[in-house]
């Protein structure tokens, strides 16, 4: 059986159109420290204009031809939820082409039947509901939480569960939460699946916020500790416990930290994709996207990192996933 491939994009932080790359914030407190935008918006139009080409090159390098089996976008697709038009543009960029200049069009033109999206905290910024996000994204593939069983080109079955990990509390900006309702729904969906062998089936959970502590992968600092406490997922350990032995891969974004690992106490592989295009003044942050290749019981996660004009392959992580499900 040939391998199955997935590409994961996260935290695109798109603006209102391809030319919207954020506004300088000079004169503000943040401006003094070199931050170009308070909105954390995508600032490099060269990424947006060439990302579709780089995805095709990455697919070929993974042995997928010109096209991956599935596409995953784990939140913060737009920079904020101020208008429906922002999400209309974001959908167009992902699923078709949009004008960029007088004679060029950009966009990923991803097959909508193989595209799986979930909202991030920026996709509901200062909102009490995800209404504006859902106006454009409720069919990619559905309003979360959703479950889809899909078949890869090689006939392998994938069970994909998309969660909304946002906390819709008054004034909340970045912190996520798994509610009892969401956890109950996921447990019910997993319990309803028949026993299977991993060689014929893979189970994947998508959300935006990180369920496991990422501080161990960061430089030790007070700011890193504070940021993680500010943005982490409430009740993340409950999600990890529920997925343990029942879910192969948990994919998320949010923290802009590209890493793949297994948490010490749980068996699910956690893939934190980083940010594909958001600009940051921190020299330690880079733009990247991930590919996942499932070959029998082996999973290889590849990182492609932006280097001024392209996304060359940078490194990979290998994991063996369990041989059967309960």
Residues in the chain: 326
Looking at residue 228, its pLDDT comes to 57
Classify residue 221: in a domain, yes or no: yes
pLDDT at 230 over 80: no
The two beta strands, 70-74 and 105-106, are: unpaired
CB 6 within 8 A of CB 248: no
Write the burial class of residue 278 (CB in 10 Å: 0-12 exposed, 13-18 middle, 19+ buried): buried
Query: Domain of 252: which CATH number?
Result: 3.60.21.10
Give first-to-last CA distance, the chain, whole Å.
Answer: 24
Question: Sign of dihedral through CA atoms 58, 62, 64, 70?
Answer: negative
Q: How many CB atoms lie within 10 A of CB 42?
A: 26
pLDDT in tens, 20-77: 887 544 434 444 344 444 468 888 889 999 999 999 999 999 999 999 999 999 999 9
Domain boundaries, position 254: 4-320
* Separation of alpha carbons 19 and 49, rounded Å: 10
The tokens of 230 are what?
Answer: 């500010």
Q: Is residue 99 part of a domain?
A: yes
Q: Which uninterrupted H or E stretch holds 270?
A: strand 269-272
Tell me, yes or no, if the pTM score tops 0.85. yes
Quick check: is 95 in a domain? yes
pLDDT at residue number 106: 93
325 domain residue, yes or no: no
Residue 16's beta-bridge partner residues? none
Q: Let me know if residue 131 belongs to a domain.
A: yes
Q: DSSP 3-state helix, strand, coil percentages of the chain (rounded to 5)?
A: 25, 25, 50
Q: Please give the tally of structural domains in the chain.
A: 1
State the average pLDDT for the chain.
89
pLDDT digits (tens, 9 = 90+) for 233-277: 999 999 999 999 999 999 999 999 999 999 988 999 999 999 999
**Do the domain assignments include residue 326?**
no
């Amino acid at each position: 059986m040939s391998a199955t491939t997935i590409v994961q994009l996260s935290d695109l932080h798109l603006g209102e159109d391809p030319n919207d790359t954020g506004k300088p914030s000079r004169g503000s407190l943040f401006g003094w420290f070199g931050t170009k935008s308070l909105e954390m918006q995508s600032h490099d139009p060269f990424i947006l204009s060439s990302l579709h080409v780089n995805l095709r090159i990455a697919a070929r390098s993974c042995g997928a031809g010109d096209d991956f089996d599935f596409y995953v976008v784990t939140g913060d697709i737009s920079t904020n939820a101020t208008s429906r038009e922002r999400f209309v543009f974001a959908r167009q960029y992902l699923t078709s082409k949009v004008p960029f200049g007088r004679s060029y069009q950009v966009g990923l033109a991803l097959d909508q039947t193989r595209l799986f999206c979930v909202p991030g905290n920026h996709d509901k910024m200062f909102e009490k509901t995800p209404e504006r996000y859902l106006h454009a994204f409720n069919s990619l593939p559905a309003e979360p939480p959703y479950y889809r069983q899909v078949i890869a080109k090689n006939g392998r079955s994938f069970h994909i569960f998309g969660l909304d990990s946002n906390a819709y509390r008054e004034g909340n900006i970045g912190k996520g939460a798994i509610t009892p309702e969401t956890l109950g729904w996921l447990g019910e969906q997993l319990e309803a699946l028949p026993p299977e062998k991993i060689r014929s089936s893979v189970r994947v959970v998508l959300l935006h916020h990180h369920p496991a502590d990422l501080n161990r992968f960061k430089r030790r600092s007070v700011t890193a500790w504070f940021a993680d406490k500010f943005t982490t997922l409430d009740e993340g350990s409950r999600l990890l416990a529920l997925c343990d032995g029942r879910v192969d891969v948990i994919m998320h974004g949010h923290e802009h930290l590209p890493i793949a690992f297994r948490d010490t106490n749980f068996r699910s592989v956690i893939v934190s994709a980083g940010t594909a295009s958001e600009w940051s003044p921190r020299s330690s942050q880079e733009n990247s996207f991930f590919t996942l290749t499932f070959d029998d019981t082996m999973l290889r996660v590849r990182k492609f990192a932006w280097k001024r004009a392209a996304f060359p392959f940078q490194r990979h992580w290998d994991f063996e996933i369990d041989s059967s499900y309960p």
